[in-house]
Structure 1
Amino acid sequence: MKKLSRLLKSGLLMICLISPLYSFSQQASGTIKGLLIDDKQKAVEFTSISLHKAADSTIVKGSISDSSGHFIFEKVNTGSYFVQAGLVGYKTYRSKNFSLTSEKKLISIESIILEAENKTLDAVTITAQKPLIEQHIDRTVLNIENSILSEGNTALELLEKAPGVTVDDEGNISMKGKPGVSVMLNGKLTYLSQRELTTLLRGTSSGSVSKIELITNPSAKYDAAGNSGIINIVLKKNEKAGINGNMYVNAARSRANRYGGGAGLNYRNGKQNLYGSYDHAYRGEIEYLSFIRRFHDDNSGIPSRISYQNSATNEPLYTNNYKLGADFFLNDKNTLGVLFNGNHGKYINDNNTSNLLVSSSGEVLSQPQTHNDNLDRWKSQAYNLNYAHKFNDSGRELSADLDYSLNDNRSNQSMDTRFPNQENPGLETRSVRRGNVPSVTNVYVGKLDYTQPFGEKAKFETGWKSSYVFVDNNLKYDTLRNNEWIPDPSWSNHFTYKETIHAGYINFSKEFGSISVQAGLRGENTQTEGHQVTTDSLVKRQYFQLFPSLFVTKTFTPDHSGQFSYGRRVERPDYSDMNPFRFFRDPFLYYEGNPFLKPELTQSIEVSHSYKGKFTTTLNYSYTDDVMNWMMGQVDSLNTTYQSPQNLKSFINYGISFTAAIQPASWWTSNNFANLLHNRYKGDQDGGDLNNSIWSYSVNSQNIFQLGKGFSAELSGFYNSKSVYGVFVTKSYYVISAGGQKQILKKKGTIKLMVNDIFQTRQRRNTARYENLDMEGHIRFDSRMATVSFSYRFGREVTPARKRNSGSEDIQNRVKGGN
């Protein structure tokens, strides 16, 4: 059985990780275009056209005619096809079969004439499923709603499956080996601390996520925050005309039970679009953690005491997401939108920890037992008012947003530690503390963007954004003495934080034949004020910084193109990182903020080459000053370990990545990513000379199999080699997941079955050895999960008569009701 298990693991891992080596025989090589008109020779605008394989009528691509009736299909594989179009009140049109060959790469279809139907027809729906992973020139897009393996996960777990993205046990996100990712929801920053963002992403069900965009080098129009780039999580929104909706339910089992469900409803006519949705999920989770810490009395290198800490946590999570919004199409040039988003829930962390302290000879010195019971409740509400004005059909546009969000996080904590008497086991001493840890964040944002095209090949963009954030964090702890709760000022702390950012940007892009250039400059004036009310300590900062960006794209041949990009970005410390209060996991391990943290600045360069839009190679280099890092330290005399954010001198990251989207067979689509990188951290913390570096690599593969008769399957896997983060070195690990689905009820219903992390290999093992610090950690995540789900689409789905086009995707996301 052990040999069979090893063979199965090896086989699945090989399928996931070597698929890029298969045949590249069916690659995108041609273009198909045409014109859609009615029987009166008038252009039929904003109507769906689908491209089908002639052999089995399978839909290959979907397109929409523009305002002049023209449509186009680009990057189409060689083969035999036909196109089909339909519109309410007209007969469905089907073209003759035609062939796209390596010699004939451009097909111009004769004008498609839609004839009026004499009888009333039901609504026509033509859909073309997007690929799981799309590689754009400035970003990688994961179409989550098309993935079987996304079922039953949280948004945070979805990120770990994204190519080049890693998430550590504290929820910190890295992209291509670089920490400092800025996370947006529907194109908008959350302005939350790392802890609050982690809670929000854990509380966001994958069922409400439409796609995830990975932007490694954003342009000047984006906020400068996020040294390693931006991850934009786009939530689902139905825009189909008529009354329609969807619902889903799922049930799962890991070490504990999980379940979830939700529904969405949409109504759209020519003048308005009303929508709403609600999702609920319960997530049971059990994790195991262990730490080995060695303490020294001298510089001999031989520990005098060793601590063996083991923890088991029961972490049930209840979450609710809801959304209500409307878009009002006032006329052809003006659109007004309103949106209310909400997320609330609770998270329980019931933790039992044993800490065995022994001497170098093995003598038991102490064996305390700690019970931590934390109950986190949060309520996040966001209100958005947005407006877009289209001056003319050339793309000249003005858009505006007003946002307000309230994030209320409250935590009730208790820590009960019992210290047995080693000489008399029947006797023990006890230390009990409880805490009320509220954190309220208010965010106000105003934004204005303007787009001015100059002909078809040049465009000027400019905009202004102002944001104000106020955080109030008032921690109150009590200690139990003689069966009475006494306020504990040594643990309590009141901290407030204010942040105001005014930003403006200009962006200009122009095509010069085969070369496209985009240059931008963003200026941000930042004012921060951190006030530790308890000690009346005030830290103020004010600074103005410029963030240039440059993109140059060159098309060498129809198959080959290249790009150069440069950008400068900033990562500001979270207010929670600057709050100097201490949070104890047990009496011998605590976390502490640093009010003197400085922002870190990064300069990045990327050079990439794309072949046929399917194969991309990217070289990247970045240098970060004053990099923020959670450093670990020890107080040997107290047998205590602590962790605190510090500014290191520098962080250098460089590497090469490969992306390949291939089709080894007509029924098999494979998306693959590989990254080879080198990370180096340098600093002089605690009197030492930190110089920690390593070469690392990661591989990610997503494979989709179309099995016919409504059946499909998905197999994914990723491998991360040994890596470094500050003083920590993390060992390698891999994860393999698989799933299948069946379409039923006239393709409106879908049943899915998936198993995530089949071999339960998502375990985090790391070591930290720096100066007197000597520590090993091992976390066994509750990641092996079997899920069954059912989803159903209902209502009339009519092809919309009008589709809005905004000056940029970011603006379009806002008009659709950004978070």
Structure 2
Amino acid sequence: MKTYSTGGPKLSTGFLLPFILQMAFIAFQLPCYAQTKGNISGKVVDPQGIPIEYVSVGLLYEDGKMVKGALSDSTGKFTFSAVPDGKYLVKVTGVSYHPLTTQSFVISVENRILDLGLLKLKEDSKLLNAVVISAQKKLVEQTIDKTVINVENSILSEGNTALELLERAPGVKVGEDGQISLKGRSGVLVMINGKSTYLSPKELSTLLKGTNSSSISKIEIMSNPSAKYDAAGNGGIINIQMKKNMKTGLNGSVSLNGGASRNARYGSALSLNYRNDKVNVYGSYDYGYRGETEYLDFVRRFYDNGNAGGIASRASYQDTETDEPLHTNNFRLGLDYELDSSNTIGLLINGNVGKYTHDSKTGNRLISGDGTIISRMATTNYDQQNWKNLTYNVNYLHKFKKEGRTFSADADFASNSFTSNLNLKTTTLPSTDGQAGITTNRRGYIPAVTDVYLAKIDYADPLTKTIKLESGLKSSIIQSDNNLRYDVLNNGNWEYDSNGSNHFKYKEQIHAGYFNINKEFKGFSVQAGLRGEYTRTQGHQITTDSLLIRSYFQLFPSVFINKPIGGNHQIQAAYSRRIERPDYGDLNPFRVFRDPLLFYQGNPFLKPELINTFQLSHSFKGKYTTAINYNQTTDVITWLSGQIDSLNTTFESPQNLNRLINYGISFTASTTFIEWWNGTHFANIFRNEYKGNVQNNTFNNNTTSFSFNSQNSFKAGKGYTMELSGFYYSGSVYGISTYKGSYAISTGVQKNILKDKGNIKFMVNDIFQSNRYREQTKYQNIDMYTNKRPDSRRIMLSLSYRFGNQDISKKDRKTGSEDIQNRVKGGG
């Protein structure tokens, strides 16, 4: 057996040592701060006692002059620290609520710490009557650290998959094969309910295609996460939050949808929930069918001199039509039980089972430089894929007597299986009269099984009024087995293809620990965190009896500085270090054929890529956010194209390029131009600069890109609501390739019925069918162009109805964990 062992990426001690010393200094010094000035805190709630997040809270002198401002956090809490002695008032204002002003109070030597308790806002009945759906959350909410898309409120989400929803998310771009990038940065970590899935990009894409919008509550986008989250995901984190009913009593909902693109689409969903003071039992199931037909044009030019340019000696023209029917089944079953006021346990089972068919017909013409037909080929590729994802979770939450101090624990097991049955038939047609055609047949059986074992604990403690500590430990073990078998048909008999077949096993362990310290200073706050991760991977190429072992330890610091200015402005500076590990589909060197002239092949010697990311952002009134970012990635993993001229064959394989520099500026605005028109708009200008070595030659590929996304909601009265959304992406670069721009416009209308317990939705997605993928690669001997036209224009009609008790519970219990399944490192 050939064994390779590497130590992984080097630790940059020159940068980290000063940071670690500084963190240690801060940790020792924090408890020593004397409370020389006052501290004022409180919690904003609605008439039912439910916390109200992100409302404006102003600290005023007794005469009404503004001192400083803040926003309530996600739990409704606010804090003013380092307040000088004097007489003050606190004023709270929020949309759809009457303003509230407290009585005056005094900060003095005898009264340094003041807790105002619950500040209960009263609803503005006039405003509530004027705005029919003011109780609903906005379609898109922007905070200083993340963007939240409330999917369940969107008309345009109907009949879509999770992957299609991401295509319309601000700053997010989905590539032709499901690759996801954020603000021009690839390597995005996609989480479901806060949990990494540990799936390969292809398997993740399939899973997201199989996740229906009817089961999704919201999508959270974080471009610069803290040390509490996994260090994976160079492009940031996208968290898909599934629906969880928090209403008391017995209640539920049912929905149906149907429509068509180039083929039919339809689905249904049912959810049930029962909740009382001690127990919450919930379950849901949805089924979806998505018919889809897409078209692909693929042109390759070959040059005898080995350099692309001038007149090609021959050219390959390929056109493909693919039918891709998809059947999906999603189910969820959970139980939360409150042992007492301090302890809660929970059980949860998530499942996603589906079937996907790739049925394509391809024609290929190889033509010489003078126009003579060299060969003609006709290929059929029938690939039947089945997958099953099951996740089992046990969680525990303990609330201490001290408010805000909590301990949670989780244990998870995820079983993931993907199976592909591939039949590839190619007929070489006669180019002249009298010649006989030649037919070759290849079949493949590609199973991928991945098991994930995960355990984690988290502890949170507000040490003082101005200091909060978060810490935790996490361990994950992943085991993957991919046994690819190819057979070829020879004289009517199927024979094992030893050259194309391959058996690859992959094991990975990641053990992590983190701490975050949040400190309120006079006029600003700092959150500093440090995460350490030990990684050990083992890739066993059973076919060639070779073993690649890699182990390394990495530190991932993060720092966030937040400063409110007055009552309307907020500035934040952020830094974090992150990692993107290659999944086993990238590492497995087996070949997967799309057709006889195109295959994909992994690279077992890939190194993880590391990124340092910086961001400076400004928020005005919580509605307008401007962010400037700079990111540098080393050993960036990029899929690059190669070419075997003698065989007229193209292949793609992942490689480590030297670095990627990404920088840009983005602007997000939440607008209410008119009382009945709300919108969220996102614009981003960024530049990507790839630098590296390909085939022993250095290259630089760079461009400046622009993207724009706008989502608008209109209240038309009498229970009608309309939506209009659109996005535009200019040209961009990836590795040695260049992508053309694309855009899409979608619209929809909703009518509330049955005393607002039901609604009817009608939507049209990508009205002009303009969302397409066009790629140009011209480097050394490679000259190729791809034009992919997905089945993006679709018309959908849906009906939903809510039944049972619809009152929100005053208790908002959550499971101790909401974060497992997303790098299951699958194959192919």
TM-score (norm 2): 0.84
Q: 1:564–1:381: structure 2 CA closer, same or farther, 3 Å change rule? A: same
Summarize the Cα distance change of 1:549–1:66 in structure 2 as closer, same or farther, 3 Å threshold: closer
State the distance in 1 between where 2:338 and 2:531 align.
32
Query: Hey, what does 2:138 align to over in structure 1?
Result: 131
Confirm or deny that 1:284 pairs with 2:291: yes
Could you tell me which residue of structure 2 aligns to residue 698 of structure 1?
Answer: 707
| Equivalent runs, 1:46-445 vs 2, <5 Å | 46=50, 76=94, 128-299=135-306, 301=309, 302-424=311-433, 427-445=436-454
Aligned counterpart, 2:544: 535
Residues 75 and 613, structure 1, Cα contact 8 Å, conserved in 2: no
- Displacement after TM superposition at 1:641 (Å): 0.6
Matched residues in 2 for 1:81 and 1:194: separation? 45
Partner of 1:451: 460
Deviations 1:721-770 (A, max 9, x none): 01001111111111000000000000000100000000000011110011
Cα-to-partner distance string for 1:656-707 (whole Å, 9 max, x where unaligned): 0000001000000010000000001111111222200000000000000011
Contact 1:334 1:387 in 2 (8 A): yes
Q: What SS does structure 1 have at the residue aligned with 2:345?
A: strand
User: What do the CA deviations read for 1:4-49 (whole angstroms, capped 9, x no partner)?
Assistant: xxxxxxxxxxxxxxxxxxxxxxxxxxxx998889xxxxxx855999
**Superposed displacement of residue 501, structure 1:** 0.5
Match of 1:516 in 2: 525
Kept in 2, the 8 Å contact 1:45–1:66? The answer is: no
Task: Give the Å deviation of 1:802.
Answer: 2.3
Once the two structures are superposed, residues 607-654 of structure 1 have per-residue CA deviations (whole angstroms, 9 ceiling, x without a partner) of 001111100100000000000000001111111111000000100000
Aligned to 2:64: none
The corresponding residue for 1:792 is 801
Is the alpha carbon distance of 1:75 and 1:151 closer, same or farther for their aligned partners in structure 2, counting shifts above 3 Å? farther
Equivalent residues of 1:270, 1:801 under 8 A apart: no
Counterpart residue identity of residue 287, structure 1: E
Number of the residue aligned with 2:13: none
1:63/1:554 Cα in 2 relative to 1: closer, same or farther (>3 Å)? closer
* Corresponding residue SS for 2:553: strand
Work out whether residues 396 and 410 of structure 2, in 8 Å CA contact, stay in contact via their aligned partners in 1. yes
Alignment of 1:400-799 (within 5 A): 400-424=409-433, 427-799=436-808
Cα 1:721–1:75 change in 2 (3 A) is: farther
Secondary structure in structure 2 of the residue aligned to 1:377: strand
In structure 1, the residue matched to 2:58 is none
Match of residue 68 from structure 2: none
Shift of 1:65: 9.0
| Structure 1 ranges of 4+ moved more than 3 A | 32-37, 44-49, 61-67, 72-77, 80-83, 108-114, 811-815
Q: How far off its partner does 1:73 sit? A: 10
Q: Give the corresponding residue for 1:20.
A: none
Distance 2:426 2:336 in 1: 55
- Please, which runs of 5 or more residues in structure 1 have no aligned partner? 1-31, 38-43, 52-60, 84-94, 96-107, 115-125
**Is contact 1:386–1:814 with CA below 8 Å preserved after alignment?**
no
Whole-angstrom distance in 2 between the partners of 1:786 and 1:657: 32
- CA gap of 1:418–1:271, structure 2 versus 1, over 3 A, is same
CA distance in 2, matches of 1:530, 1:664: 57
Residues 184 and 805 of structure 1, relative CA distance in 2, 3 Å threshold:
closer
Give SS of 1:198's match.
helix
CA contact (8 A) 1:347 1:376 kept: yes
CA distance in 1 between counterparts of 2:122 and 2:584 reads: 61
1:538-571 Cα shifts (integer Å, max 9, x gaps): 1110000000000000111111110000000000
3-state DSSP of counterpart to 1:249: strand
Q: Report the alpha carbon displacement of residue 812 of structure 1 after superposing the two structures with TM.
A: 6.6
Q: Distance in 1 between matches of 2:119 and 2:177?
A: 58
Equivalent residue letter for 1:303: A
Does the CA contact (< 8 Å) of 1:62 and 1:127 recur in 2?
A: no
For 2:408 and 2:555, locate their aligned partners in 1 and report how far apart those are by CA, in whole Å: 24
Which deviates more from structure 2 when the two are superposed, residues 298-307 or residues 220-229? 298-307
Contact 2:98 2:121 in 1 (8 A): no
Does the Cα contact within 8 Å between 2:557 and 2:577 map onto a contact in 1? yes
Q: What's the Cα RMSD here?
A: 2.8
CA distance in 2, matches of 1:64, 1:506: 21
Of 556-565 and 753-762, deviating more is 556-565
The aligned counterpart of 2:81 is: none
- Structure with greater contact order relative to length (CA < 8 Å, sep ≥ 6): 2
Using the alignment, how far apart are the partners of 2:335 and 2:407 within structure 1? 19
Between 1:126-135 and 1:770-779, the stretch displaced more is 126-135
- Look up the equivalent residue of 1:285 and give its one-letter code: E
Question: How far apart, in 2, do the equivalents of 1:170 and 1:607 lie?
Answer: 32
SS of the equivalent of 2:233 reads coil
User: What is the Cα deviation at residue 454 of structure 1?
Assistant: 1.7
Deviation at 1:392, TM superposition (A): 1.7
Give the CA deviation at 1:299.
4.7
Are residues 434 and 805 of structure 1, via their aligned partners in 2, closer, same or farther at CA, if it must alter by over 3 Å?
Answer: closer
Separation in 2, partners of 1:315, 1:741: 29
Q: C-alpha separation between the residues in 2 aligned to 1:75 and 1:427?
A: 82
SS in 1 for 2:695: helix
Q: For residues 707 and 584 of structure 1, do their structure 2 counterparts lie closer, same or farther at Cα, with a shift above 3 Å needed? A: same
Q: Percent of counterpart pairs with the same letter?
A: 53
**1:813–1:324 Cα change, 3 Å:** same
How far apart, CA to CA, are the structure 2 residues paired with 1:332 and 1:196?
A: 41
Aligned residue for 1:149, secondary structure, equals helix
SS in 1 for 2:585: helix
Deviation of 1:803 (Å): 2.7
> What is the TM-score of this pair, normalised by structure 1?
0.85
Across the two proteins, how many residue pairs are aligned to each other?
Answer: 729
The Cα of 1:331 is off from its aligned counterpart by 0.8
Secondary structure of the residue that 1:577 maps to in structure 2?
helix
What is the rounded CA distance, in whole Å, between the counterparts of 1:110 and 1:211 in structure 2? 28
Shift of 1:799: 3.4
SS of structure 2 residue aligned to 1:184: strand
Change (3 A) 1:183 1:408: same
- In the alignment, the residues of structure 2 paired with residue 805 and residue 585 of structure 1 have an alpha-carbon distance, to the nearest angstrom, of 45
Distance 2:119 2:306 in 1: 84
Note the residue ranges of structure 2 that are not aligned, 5 or more in a row. 1-41, 56-71, 79-89, 101-116, 124-132
After TM superposition, give the deviation of residue 422 of structure 1 in Å: 1.9
Partners of 1:48 and 1:799 within 8 A in 2? no
Paired residues of 2:246 and 2:812 also in contact (CA < 8 A): no
